[in-house]
A and B are shown apart, each in its own frame.
Chain A
Amino acid sequence: MQSTTKNAVDYNSVGLKVGIEIHQQLNTKCKLFCKCPTTHRDQEESNFQFFRYLRSKKSEMGEVDKAAVEEVKRSKRFIYLSYDTTCLVESDEEPPREINMEALELSLLIAKMLHMNVVDEVHVMRKIVIDGSNTTGFQRTALIAFDGWIDVGEKIGIATLCLEEEACRKIEDRGSEVVYSLDRLGIPLVEIGTKPDIKTPEMAKKVAAKLGMILRSTGKVKRGLGTIRQDVNISIKDGARVEIKGVQDLDILDKIVEYEVIRQISLLKIKEELIKRGAKVDKKIYDVSEVFKNTKSKILKKAKSVMAIKLEGFSGLVGKEIQPNRRLGTEFADIAKTFGLGGIFHSDELPAYGISEKEVEEVKKRLEAKEGDAIILAAGESERVKKALSRIIERAEQCLLGVPEETRKANEDGTTSYLRPLPGAARMYPETDVPPVKITEEMLKLEIPELIENRAKRYEELGLSKDLALMVAESQFYKLFEEYVKKLPATVVARVIYTVPTELRKEGYDINVLEEKHYRIVLKLIADGKIAKEGAGEVLKKMIENPEMSEEELINSVGGQSGLKELETFIDDLLNEKEELIKERKMGAFKPLMGEVMKVFRGKIDGKVVAEVLKKKLEVKTNIK
C-alpha cells in the first residue's frame, strides 16, 4: 500500500488534465456591492452578532443543486460577527448597491492582460452557496471575459474571468453551528479559470505563479495570507473531475496534484478489487446503541445513539491507504464530519479506541456480517448519524463505480479531505437587484502596466542581483526605487526599501507602520548627504518607534554627517583634556565623561550614538585594544 504513494507516476499515460482557478482579492476602496471598506478586522472588535439558517431553493430552471441539497440536510446554525465597518448589505438585511466600478475596471484590465474577450454586457448572478459563508445563501458573481491565454513556455488557455464577492471568514466550526466574520464578505475578487491544458504537477505550479505575478503587476490587488487562493481541478483517464478548494500555499500546488493522482489510481484499484470480490452495499442503517450500553469507549458511551452499516466484501479495503496517511475510511470519516459528527469507526481498525472484540463481534452478529464484510460505526445525535450514514452508504456504492466527482478541501500536507458533491450549473440565477452594466469602448481603453518579471529584468541591468531585482520589482515601493535610482546607486536604494526592512522585520520590528513617505525621507537624507548610508537602519528604527518624528530629529538622533564630525572633535578634545582622570580610572572614566559630552549634545544627538562614539575613543585611549 505504501508503495503506491512512492511510485513515480507517468502523468502522460494516466491522462492527467489539470485546470487552475485563482481567486485574488482586489485592493479597492469599497466592497463590491456596498460602501464598506475592505479592511480586515479582529474578531474581538465585533460589536454585534446574529444567527441564521439557510434553505435550498429551486433554481430558475426548476432544478435543485445537489451540493446545495446536501448542505441543507446538515441544517447548521450560522453565527455572524458584525463590525462598525460592515453594514446591512453584508447582513443580508438591505439590497446590494450597484456594482463597484473601480473593481469592474480593474477586472477589465486583468482581462486585457490575459488577452481575453470581454462580454458586451455584464450580468450579476447569484451562485448558490449554502455552507453559510454568504449570509444570502448565494455568492454574487459576474462573467466578465473569456478565451484568453498566458505563456509559460507553452500557451495555456484561460477559459473565464469572473468578478465576484468574497465570502465570510470562517472563525470556528462547532459541528452543529459555524461562526463567520462579516469583515471579509463582499471584498471584490477576480476568479480566473484556466482551461484543462495543464499536463503535469510542475506546470500547474508554474501557471499559478505566473497568474499571481500578472495580478500583482496591476499594483491593485491585496497582498498577504488568504488574499489569494487557488482551486485545482484534476482528472485522470477513467477517474473523475475533482475540484480541490482553497490552496493558499503555492509551494504545495504540485504536491496536491501528485497526491490526487495517487488517490484516483488507488480508488480505481479498490474498485477492481471490489468487483472481483462481488462486493455490495447493504442500504440499511442499524441501530446498535444497545451493544454499547456498558462500553469502555468514552465516545460511544456518551453518544445519544450508535448506528452501523454493513459493506459486504469491503473488509481490508476500508483501511487501505489512498493518500499518505489517509485511508478509504478517512474519506468516510470526512463525510461524517461534514454532518457535525466526530468521525467513524470501521472494522478494519477494530478492536481499538476502547471498543472491545466482543462488542465488534456482537455488532457483526446483529448485522449478519460475514467474513470479508466491513462494518462502519457512527455515534451522536440520531438524526445526524442517520443522515451521515446514508450519505456514507452512497459514497461506498460509488467505490464500486470508481472515483466520485466531488469538491475537496486542501490540507496543509498536500492531501485533501471530502467537502461536498461537485456543484452543477444549476446553482445560478440572476441577481435582479443589481442592474446589468454595458461595457463601453471607453471602459476598455486601459493602459497595461509593466509586468513585474519585465521590471525585474530592468533592475538586474541596473546592477541588482537576480533575486534582489525580483524582490524590489515586487515591492509596493518600486516606484520610489525608480525615482531614487537616478540619484543613488541601485544597491543603496534596494537596501533601504527592501534589504534593511526585511532584516528589521526578522529582528522583531513592526515594519508595517512604515509608509512610502518614511522610506522617501531616508532616501532623501542619504542623497542629500545628511546621514551616512549605514545610518538607514537606525533611522528606520526611530521611525517605527515614532512614525511622526521630524527630519531634523531623525538627523540628530543618528548624528547626521556633520553632527557626527562635531561630536568626534569634541570628544577628542575632551579626552586630551581629561588625560589624568582616564589614567586613573581607565574605563571607569566613561560615566563622568559621558556626562560632560551630554551637557553639550543632549537633544542634538541620540545618547546611544554618543555612548558608542565615546566608548570607542575611550578604548583606544586606554590602550585596551
Chain B
Amino acid sequence: MDLTGKKVKIKAKGKIFEGIVMPSVTGSLVLKLDNGYNVGFFDYEILEIEEIEKIESKTSLTKNPELPDVKIISTGGTIASKVDYKTGAVTSQFTAEEIVGDVPELAEICNVDAELLYNILSENMNVKHWIELARNVYSALKKYEGVIITHGTDTMAYTASALAFMISTPKPIVLVGAQRSSDRPSSDAAMNLICSALTATSDLGEVVVVMHATTSDDYCYIHRGVKVRKCHTSRRDAFKSINFIPLGKIDYMKRKIEWFVQDRFKRGERELELKDKMEEKVVLIKFYPGLKPDILEYYYGKGYKGFVLEGTGLGHVSTEWIDVIKKISEDCLIIMTSQCIWGRVCDRVYDTGRYLLKAGVIEGEDMLPEVALVKLMWLLGNYDLEEAKKYVKENLVGEITQSTKYWESMLSFFNSKNK
C-alpha cells in the first residue's frame, strides 16, 4: 500500500512518531515530522493511517485593458518545475494564476495567458517538439503582443535557433529559463521572467533568450537566439552571446531596457510567416586528432543529407578525410564550423582548408556549430540542395555577422557607458 501523502502514526526506536509520509528512494519510510524535518526509518511499526486534506490556494486574475497581452508557453525545465511534495509527483499544472501568484510583478507589465505545451526536460526535446512549438507560437502571435517560452536551459539555444529559422516574426519571441530551481527563495526564475515580460512587450521582432547577465540580480541580457550559447553548467550568467553582443540589457529594479543593437529586427518589421519543415537527417560531428572519416561514411550510408563539422582552428579536419568528403559532397551539404567557438571560419589559409573547399565543404562563417546544424536542417527541409548550398553563407536571421569585431570590448563599452 502506498502511504505517500498520508498522515501516519508509527512506533520506532521505542518512541511514537507522527508525520506525513514523503516519497522515498531508498526503501525507507520517510516521515515529515511536525517540526518540519524529514527522517527515514527502516525498522518501524505503523499504528495509524489518516487521510489529509489537500490545501489549495486560489487567486483569480483580472485583465488590465491598458496593458499588452502576452502568452507564456511552458515546455518544462527548472523554471516551471513544481514538485508536489505530498505525492512526490511533478505537477503538470501551469496556469496563468499560478505564475502570476508566484511572480505578481508580471501583472504590472502585461496580461498573462499561459499554456503548458510540454513538461519535459530540455535534453529530451527533439526536432518534432520544435516544429510543434513553432506552430503553437505562430498561432499565438496572431493574438498576442509577444510570446514567452519557458524552457530548460540545457538545449534552450537550439530551440531558439529552430524558432528563429522557422518563424518570420513581427513580434518578440522570448525564451527564458532558470539555473536555480524556482522553488527556492534565491531562484533566478522570477527576475528572468519579469525581464522576459519586459522584452516580450518591447520594440522587438525576433527570437531572443533572456537570462541573467551576471551572478548578481542586477540585470538580464537579451541575447539573439541564433547567437547564444550556454557556457556554464550551473551559474546564473551561463548564457553568453558568441561572435556578437547581446541586443540589449534590462535593468531589473528599474524595469528598463537599454538597447545595444539598433539594427535588430523591430516590432512590425517583418510579416508573420511559418516555414516549419525540418530535415532530421543532419548530423554534427566534432573532429578530434586521429578521428577517422569512417564516421562520415556511416552517416552517409544511413541516408544523412547534411553534415556540420566542428573542425579545429580556422576550420580543419585531417587531410585523410578529403577523399570521403569529395565522394559524399555530390548529393550532401557539408558545413565547416570551428571548435574554437569564437571567430570566423576561413579555409583559404592552409592547404588542408583549400583542399576541403575544393572537395565541397562550405564555410560556416562565424556561426556556432549548433546554429549551423539547425540552419542546415531548416535549409534542407525547405529548399533543394543547390538553393540550400547558396543560403549557407548568407545571413538570414542574424546568424552570420558581416564583420568580426572585438565583441567583448564593445559589450564592456556599452556596459560602462551608463554607469
Residue of B nearest to A119 (CB): B39
What are some 30 contacts across the A-B interface (CB < 8 A)?
A: A52-B186, A53-B191, A54-B185, A62-B55, A63-B55, A68-B185, A88-B235, A93-B215, A93-B234, A94-B234, A117-B13, A117-B14, A119-B40, A120-B12, A123-B37, A123-B38, A123-B39, A123-B40, A125-B36, A128-B185, A136-B186, A137-B185, A137-B186, A141-B37, A142-B37, A428-B37, A429-B85, A429-B183, A432-B83, A438-B40
> Is residue B184 contacting chain A, with contact meaning CB distance below 8 A?
yes
Distance from B25 Cβ to chain A, minimum over Cβ atoms (Å): 8
Q: Which of A51, A122, A160 contacts B217 (CB 8 A)?
A: A51
Q: How far is the CA of A128 from the CA of B186 in the complex (A)?
A: 11
Any B CB within 8 A of the CB of A233? no
Binary contact readout B38-57 vs A (1 if CB under 8 angstroms, 0 otherwise): 11111100000000000111
CA distance A121 to B12 in the complex (A): 13
Taken together as a complex, chains A and B put the C-alpha atoms of A94 and B32 apart, in Å, by 27
Chain A residues with CB under 8 Å of B35's CB are 143, 160, 425, 428
Residue from B20, B37, B185, B233 whose CB has the most chain A CB atoms within 10 Å: B185
In the complex, whether A526 has a CB less than 8 A from a CB of chain B is no
B182 partner residues in chain A, CB cutoff 8 A: 57
Q: Which of B25, B40, B184, B235 contacts A122 (CB 8 A)?
A: B40
Given contacts A50-B216, A62-B55, A429-B85, contact A57 B184 (CB under 8 A): yes
Interface assignment of A420: CB less than 8 Å from any CB of chain B:
no
Nearest neighbor of A143 in chain B, beta-carbon distance: B37
**Given the complex, which residues of B lie within 8 Å of A415, measured CB to CB?**
none
The docked-state distance in angstroms from the alpha carbon of A321 to that of B48 is 51
Bound Cα distance A190, B22 (Å): 25
Q: Is B190 an interface residue (CB 8 A)?
A: yes
Structural contact, B185 and A130, CB atoms closer than 8 A: yes
Query: In whole angstroms, how far apart are the Cα atoms of A222 and B42 in the complex?
Result: 34
Asked if A62 meets B39 with Cβ closer than 8 Å, knowing A50-B216, A57-B183, the reply is no
Binary CB contact string for chain A from 117 to 158 against chain B (1 if under 8 A, 0 otherwise): 101111101111010000111100111001100000000000
Does B26 have its Cβ within 8 Å of any Cβ on chain A?
yes
User: Which of B37, B55, B190 gathers most chain A CB within 10 Å?
Assistant: B37
With contacts A55-B187, A60-B83 taken as known, whether A425 is within 8 angstroms of B36 at the C-beta atoms is: yes
Please provide the chain A residues from 46 to 97 with a CB less than 8 Å away from any CB of chain B in the complex: 50-63, 68, 88, 91-95
In the bound complex, how far is the Cα of B43 from the Cα of A20, in angstroms?
A: 30
- Beyond A54-B186, A425-B34, 9 additional contacts (C-beta under 8 Å) are A50-B216, A57-B184, A58-B183, A62-B55, A121-B30, A143-B39, A428-B35, A430-B22, A436-B25
CB 8 Å contact bits of B166-191 with A (1 = contact, 0 = none): 00000000000001101111110011
B15 close to A117 (CB less than 8 A):
yes
Residue of B nearest to A426 (CB): B36
**B217 and A52 form a contact (CB under 8 A):** yes
Q: Would you call B375 an interface residue if the criterion is a C-beta within 8 Å of the partner chain's C-beta atoms?
A: no
Within 8 A of A (CB), among B67-81: none
Q: Chain A interface: which size bin?
A: 35 or more
The reply on A320 being an interface residue by CB < 8 A is: no
State whether A436 touches B215 (Cβ < 8 A). no
Chain B residue, CB-CB nearest to A439: B40
Q: Does A263 contact B (CB under 8 A)?
A: no
Q: Which of A216-274 contact B (CB under 8 A)?
A: none
* CB atoms of A436 and B40 under 8 A apart: yes
Q: B216, A430: Cβ atoms under 8 Å?
A: no
Question: Which among B41, B102, B184 is the interface contact of A119 at CB below 8 angstroms?
Answer: B41
Q: How far does the alpha carbon of A53 sit from the alpha carbon of B192 in the complex, in Å?
A: 13
Q: Is A427 located at the chain interface by the 8 A CB criterion?
A: yes
Q: Kindly state the separation between the CA atoms of A133 and B186 in the bound complex, as whole angstroms.
A: 12
Q: Once the chains bind, are A138 and B185 in contact (CB under 8 Å)?
A: yes
Chain A proximity of B257: nearest CB distance (Å): 19
- Would you call A494 an interface residue if the criterion is a C-beta within 8 Å of the partner chain's C-beta atoms? no
Q: Nearest 4 A-B pairs (CB), nearest first? A: A137-B185, A121-B40, A60-B85, A428-B36
Give which listed residue, A126, A147, A429, contacts B15 with CB less than 8 A: A147
Most buried by B among A88, A119, A137: A119
A162 within 8 A of B: yes
Interface status of B136 (Cβ within 8 A of chain A):
no
Proximity bits, A154-184, B CB within 8 Å = 1, else 0: 0000001010000000000000000000000
Q: Using A61-B86, A143-B37, A427-B36 as known contacts, say yes or no to A92 and B180 having CB atoms under 8 A apart.
A: yes
Contact residues in B for A435 (Cβ distance below 8 Å): 25
- B214: interface (CB < 8 Å): yes
- Cβ contacts under 8 Å, A438 to chain B: 26, 28, 40, 42
- Contact A430:B183 (CB < 8 A) given known A125-B36, A425-B34: no
**Is B218 an interface position by the 8 A CB rule?**
yes
Asked whether B186 lies within 8 Å of A92 as measured between CB atoms, the reply is yes
Bin chain B's interface residue count.
35 or more
The interface residues of chain A lying within 8 Å CB-to-CB of B236 are 93
Q: Which residues of A contact B217 (CB under 8 A)?
A: 51-53
B52: nearest chain-A partner, CB-CB: A61
Q: Is the CB of A121 within 8 A of B186?
A: no
Min C-beta distance of A174 to chain B, whole Å: 16
Instruction: Kindly state the separation between the CA atoms of A121 and B38 in the bound complex, as whole angstroms.
Output: 10
Which residue of A53, A60, A127 is within 8 Å of B86 (Cβ)? A60
Q: Select from chain B the residue with minimum beta-carbon distance to A126.
A: B184
What residue in chain B is nearest A427 (Cβ atoms)? B36
Residue in chain B with minimal CB distance to A118: B13
Measured CB to CB, the closest approach of chain A to B236, in angstroms, equals 6
Which chain A positions have C-beta within 8 A of B180?
Answer: 92
Q: Contact: B56 with A62, CB < 8 Å?
A: yes
Are the CB atoms of B216 and A52 closer together than 8 Å? yes
A130 contacts across to B, CB distance below 8 A:
185
Give A575 to B174 CA distance when docked, in angstroms. Answer: 98
Please give, as numbers and ranges, the residues of chain A lying within 8 Å of B43 by CB-CB distance.
Answer: 120
By the criterion CB–CB under 8 Å, are A127 and B185 in contact? no
CB distance from B147 to the nearest CB of A (A): 25
For B186, give its contact among A119, A135, A147 (CB under 8 Å): A135
From B43, which residue of chain A is reached at the shortest CB distance?
A120
Contact of A50 among B14, B25, B26, B214 (CB under 8 A): B214
Interface contact B216-A51, CB-CB below 8 Å: yes
Could you say which residues of chain A place their CB within 8 Å of the CB of B191? 53
Determine whether the beta carbon of B234 is less than 8 Å from that of A88: yes
List residues of B (16-36) whose CB comes within 8 Å of A's CBs: 20, 22, 25-26, 28, 30, 32-36
* CB <8 Å contact, A62 and B57: yes
B36 adjacent to A127 (CB under 8 Å): yes
> A102 to B233, alpha carbons, bound, how many Å?
28
Q: State the Cβ distance, B113 to closest chain A Cβ, in Å.
A: 22
Interface set, chain A 407-446, CB cutoff 8 A to B: 425-430, 432, 435-436, 438
Residue of B nearest to A136 (CB): B186
Which of B41, B180, B218 is the most central at the interface, judged by chain A CB atoms within 10 Å of its CB?
B180
Interface centre among B35, B187, B233 (most CB of A within 10 A): B35
Complex Cα spacing A52 to B25, Å: 34
B83 CB → nearest A CB, Å: 7
Give the complex CA separation of A296 and B187 in angstroms.
Answer: 46
Does B37 lie within 8 Å of A136, measured CB to CB? no
B40 pairs with A55, CB closer than 8 A: no
> How far is it, in angstroms, between the C-alpha of A195 and the C-alpha of B25 when the chains are bound?
32
- CB-nearest residue of chain B relative to A59? B85
Which of A57, A120, A432 is the one whose CB lies under 8 Å from B42? A120
Max chain B Cβ within 10 angstroms of own Cβ: one of A52, A136, A143, A426: A52
Decide: A138 and B184 in contact? CB cutoff 8 A.
yes
Determine which of A56, A94, A121, A432 lies in contact with B39 in the assembled complex, contact meaning CB atoms within 8 Å.
Answer: A121
B85 A61 Cβ-Cβ under 8 A: yes
* Chain B residues whose CB sits within 8 angstroms of the CB of A94 once the complex forms: 233-235
Nearest CB of chain A from residue B360's CB, rounded to whole Å:
44
Alpha-carbon distance between A128 and B184 when the two chains are bound, in angstroms: 9
Closest beta carbon of chain B to A18's beta carbon, Å:
18
- Find out whether the CB atom of A125 lies under 8 angstroms from the CB atom of B184: no
CB distance from A165 to the nearest CB of B (A): 14
Report A-chain residues with C-beta under 8 Å of the C-beta of B56.
Answer: 62
Contact B185 A55 (CB under 8 A): yes
Alpha-carbon distance between A524 and B34 when the two chains are bound, in angstroms? 58
Docked pose: A141 CA to B39 CA in angstroms: 11
